[in-house]
Amino acid sequence: MFSTEEGASELAAGAGFSRLILVAFGRGGHAFESTAKVQEELNAKIMELAPDTLGAGEKIPYLTVEEGLGARNIVHRSTSSLSGAFFVEDVKEDGELLRRLVFLSNTNVIQSEVKLQSRSTANSTPPASVPVETDVQVGTTNTISGDATTDARKKKKNKKQKNRKKDQKATAKHAIVDTAYLAFGYHKGMIAALHAASLSANTEADMLHRTLVLGLGGGCLAQYLHDNIAGMDVTVCEIDPVIVTVAEQYFGFHQDERMRVVVADALEYIAEQSAAAQRPSFDSIIVDVDAKQRDVGMSCPPVSFVEVALLQQVHSLLSAHGVLLINVSCRDSNLYKEIIARLERVFTDSRVVFAMRPGEQDVNSVVFVRKTDAKGPDAKTLLQQLHGHGRRCGKAQNTPCYVDDELCELIRDIEIAK
């Protein structure tokens, strides 16, 4: 949060100082022993920036977001022709081991995050004093020596390091992932919206709920749906086969008779399916795709996913009471209003588009709309029904990640989009 201009401004306002310097720890090459050592390393540079009004006996305070420095270990790094360079890292935070997928094109954003269960913790978490795996060895010098014994020792040491990294990578692939954990508030919001808008419409207990998820990432949301909500049949459309492999090897994602991945461009896949003679029908379609183009005022989804033509194709693939859910991160209020207007034009029978922001700090909103009968209730009555159905459904189908109050609170936050 503090990596953004808005987050940094909020931190500066709360700190109560007229001048504030933010220091972020890099993801490679260093072992940070303690906060005291970090402070010792920074002191000289900080004093160079000290204001002239600082008294001789005054000290510049150091503030930290949380106690300790944690531990970070890069377990995999690679490059995809479609997604660019990325890495998978294990991070110890608040006593828990988390695994994250990060793209180098935007290292301030965590693309996916899962929680690893305790059995694998001992094997995949490095001590805080051990440097993370890196392509650059910091603090070493290259020397030429005629001492054969020294060369042999170096070769032996390098071989041990390579074997250790190889063992760590093998262990990382067999780590146990807690698929009942959702890291992102908007993912929880999507689950709450599904309970309220779609799952409540299924009256038969043994009825399969067919959902289409556009965008895989680490597979966290798709795997959660599969593992924690009864009767879910999940199809995922992901453009990058490299990311599918990473999700399967490092994030606990797996395919079976109720989970499948279609490797394709989501826009082309939707167009092909909507034009097919045997058109499939989905009870829900989830759009969870980030935009590579950052200059349009919206980071999720790409503008092409909210064009009228695409929305019409999506509408044709939804069942009679199907619901469309979109992860929207938009700072342009006019563009946001235009998206809502397009949904209202396409889903003419639905009468209303709903939205929910999972938390005050969230820039992501869950925007969703359900196909309904044209003779249905007005928007206000429909919202009341949504809240009531959602709470009952949430209690009946409560999942391991949620207590009833948390799920119901998210459902209460659903409002009519404006």
- Using CA atoms, how far apart are residues 94 and 18, in angstroms rounded to an integer? 30
pLDDT of residue 251: 97
Query: What residue spans define the domains of the chain?
Result: 184-416
* Cα angle value 389/395/397 (rounded, 5°): 95
Q: Which residue has the tokens 């797996």?
A: 254
pLDDT tens, residue by residue, 147-173: 544 555 555 555 555 555 555 555 566
User: With contact defined as beta carbons under 8 Å apart, do 411 and 405 qualify?
Assistant: no
- Using CA atoms, how far apart are residues 357 and 183, in angstroms rounded to an integer? 15
CATH superfamily of 184-416: Vaccinia Virus protein VP39 (3.40.50.150)
Backbone angles phi, psi at 34, to 5 degrees: -165, 165
pLDDT tens, the chain, 418 aa long: 566 676 677 778 878 888 888 887 766 545 666 778 888 888 888 888 888 888 877 888 887 765 556 667 899 999 999 999 999 999 988 888 999 999 988 877 899 999 998 654 444 443 332 232 323 222 332 333 445 445 555 555 555 555 555 555 555 667 899 999 999 999 999 998 888 876 655 545 567 899 999 999 999 999 999 999 888 999 999 999 999 999 999 999 999 999 999 999 999 999 999 999 999 999 999 999 998 776 678 889 999 999 999 999 999 999 988 999 999 999 889 999 999 999 999 998 777 898 988 877 778 999 999 887 666 666 677 677 767 765 565 555 544 444 456 777 788 888 888 7
SS3 breakdown of the chain: % helix, strand, coil, rounded to 5? Answer: 40, 20, 40
Percent share of the chain, pLDDT over 90: 41
Packed helices 404-412 and 379-396: angle between N→C axes, nearest 10 degrees: 170
